[in-house]
Amino acid sequence: MVIYVVQSGDSLYSIAQEYGVTVELLQAANQILPTQPLVIGQALVVPTEFITHQVSAGETLFTIARSYGTTVERLVKLNPLTQSDPNFLRVGQLLTVPAVAEPTGTIAVNGFCYPGIGQSTLDLTLPDLTYLSPFSYMFTETGTLVPVDDARLINAAYTKNVAPLMVIANTIPGEGFSSELASVVLNDMDIQSTLIENIAINLDEKNYFGLNIDFEYIFPRDREAYNAFLERLVARLRPIGYVLSSAVAPKISAGQQGTLYEAHDYEAHGRLLDYVVIMTYEWGYTYGPPMAVAPVDQVERVLQYAVTEIPPAKILMGMPNYGYDWTLPYVSGTAARTLSNVAAVRLAADTGSEILFDEVAQSPYFNYRVNGVEHVVWFEDARSIQAKLRLVEQYGLGGVSYWTVNQYFSQNWLVLNSMFNVEKRF
């Protein structure tokens, strides 16, 4: 696999010819419509196993192998070379090299999804997941669960050897996350006991593999109560074999201020649970100023702190699968439009825009104008995905978690599978 960035004058045919693949394969790998023009700056994944490298002055087999993430032995095997001859490389010589390094290991991959996910998207995505997490079960102030129509998702997951995880969140229909609802459950032991038993019953009746607890915007005063709740859940559910995880805000220090952060105790979650999903996205968000959704430099700041509190193998790094379209000039409190990564590129094509790439954030973006109004779009592509996935290897993380997998993005899975094997629990 090669990531190619479209230049002026390129066509699908010329790129296909250069890499020895078909136009149809390029279109399929990148979800390009038959009549869709290429965009300058657009990242394409080229599904090819080998490419040609022309030797430059000063290069050796070792330096070439290192730059492509392969070995001298593999280069020798692929080319008519003799290691004992010190002059077997010459400037201008063409070498066949692997287009991608061998997968560096096996990771867990979780995908959150809404129950309405399309069946075709679900079928395409499940082979690349370890866990599927339908979002989500809600609960009342009495500890009663609000039913979710999740049987289709659970059954589909098991047919593809994917473990379904029940998700429970302190949300209220039409209102979002509720600090007050969480506080009621966290501080009333009778209600809490009812909720825990209802969770255990639902896990068993629905044949879930485990549980993810996504409590957000918890009052800072409820931090220790939340930790105690997790301890009670673990004591009830771990002996019967459930995988247990939580979702936490992206903190950069233990004392980070704010309702989003303060009650999420990284050390406690890492000690008690099997996995901790760190929601490393939403720097650029619906009601915020335009910027990358998950700038790699900011994601890394979170990981640098997280691995000091949570065993790295328990961390699932959050991966966004969407972008935002902001109207300019940005006015505080106005909403950006959410769009898929595929739709972002198609919008750039439709508006004749050039896609740019922010080297610090390692994220693509573009500007366009419609009806005299300026817009900016930040989204994800193969390059930004690869940059974030490299952090998984760098920090020895357990894997990644996608929000959400409701929109299929073929580039993501091609890049991920070129870098890692996906863990399967059965």
Q: What is the sign, positive or negative, of the torsion defined by CA atoms of 64, 69, 72, 78?
A: negative
Q: Let me know: does 381 contact 41? Beta carbons within 8 Å.
A: no
Separation of alpha carbons 185 and 82, rounded Å? 70
Please name the residues in contact with 374: beta carbons below 8 A apart, sequence gap of 6 or more.
Answer: 327, 328, 329, 367, 368
Q: What are phi and psi of 237, to 5 degrees?
A: -105, -30
Q: What does the buried/exposed string (b/e) look like for 54-93 if buried means 16 or more CB atoms within 10 Å of the residue's CB?
A: ebeeebebeebbeebebbbeebeeebebeeeeeeeeeeee
Q: Are strands 176-177 and 171-172 parallel, antiparallel or unpaired?
A: antiparallel
207 CB neighbour count, 10 Å cutoff: 12
Q: At what angle do helices 189-206 and 223-237 cross, to 10 degrees?
A: 40
Per the annotation, the verdict on 216 as an active-site residue is: yes
* Catalytic one of 197, 205, 216, 374: 216
d(CA 370, CA 139): 44
| Residues in Cβ contact with 2 at an 8 Å cutoff, skipping those fewer than 6 apart | 19, 45, 46, 48, 51, 99, 100
What tokens were used for 193? Answer: 């006991």
Cβ atoms of 382 and 344 within 8 Å: the answer is no
Q: Which residues contact 304 (CB under 8 A, 6 or more apart)?
A: 252
Cα Rg of the chain (Å, integer): 24
Tell me which residue has tokens 């930004």.
384
Q: Show which residues are catalytic.
A: 216
